[in-house]
Structure 1
Amino acid sequence: MCRSIKVLRGEDGASDHEVYEASLQFVRKISGYRQPSKANREVFDEAVEQIEAASRRLLDGLVTRSKPEDQRVSA
């Protein structure tokens, strides 16, 4: 996968903008399009919205007893 993907699970949680940006990055990576054509725009945007919603549900539903690791330290 992509090494530049940012971990969004942190002490402060992820903002809506961060979740959107991560979803957009994922759809771009999977589709191979940075900017889709007009013919593909609707399905591209729909995929981003669905990934964003699923990501938000995941982040909101995670239960943990420990603090997330600082990825910069462990990398």
Structure 2
Amino acid sequence: MCRSIKTLREPYAEVVTDADIQAAALQYVRKISGFRTPAAHNAAAFDAAVASVAEATAVLLGQLVVRGGGAARTGADHAAASAGTTESGAHRDR
């Protein structure tokens, strides 16, 4: 659909940052709305849509399980895994 939106799950992206998710959400909303930058009277709806798409994307990536791997990781998850803990501070089973 939109070539500037990159795949954000493993193995295509080992670490996904909030900025990656936000950029993909923005590109998606720009594509479907037809606006690069909305007029002032549409800005609130545009910004709300970007926030909703970003939230849904984060939930999706957090729930996906890739065969031969685990759940897709966000930047915070990757840092926690490197430290041997999850975002909540609990140790992961290795």
What TM-score do you get using the length of structure 2 for normalisation?
Answer: 0.66
Residue of structure 1 equivalent to 2:20: 18
Residue of structure 2 equivalent to 1:71: none
Q: 1 or 2, which has the higher helix percentage?
A: 1
> Which string of whole-angstrom CA distances, capped at 9 and with x for unpartnered residues, describes residues 39-60 of structure 1?
0000000000000000000000
CA RMSD of aligned residues (A): 1.4
Q: Residue 27 in 1 paired to residue 29 in 2?
A: yes
Residue of structure 2 equivalent to 1:9: 9
Q: Give 5+ residue unaligned stretches, structure 2.
A: 70-94
Moved more, 7-16 or 54-63: 7-16
What TM-score do you get using the length of structure 1 for normalisation?
Answer: 0.81
Q: Structure 1 residue 63: deviation in Å? A: 1.0
Number of matched residues? Answer: 67
Distance in 1 separating the partners of 2:4 and 2:30: 13
Report which structure shows greater RCO (CA 8 Å, sep ≥6): 1
Distance in 2 separating the partners of 1:4 and 1:52: 16
> % of aligned pairs identical?
46
Q: In structure 2, what residue type is equivalent to 1:7?
A: T
Distance in 2 separating the partners of 1:58 and 1:33: 25
Q: Give 5+ residue unaligned stretches, structure 1.
A: 68-75
Residue of structure 1 equivalent to 2:68: 66
Q: Structure 1 residue 4: deviation in Å? A: 2.8
What SS does the aligned partner of 1:49 have?
helix
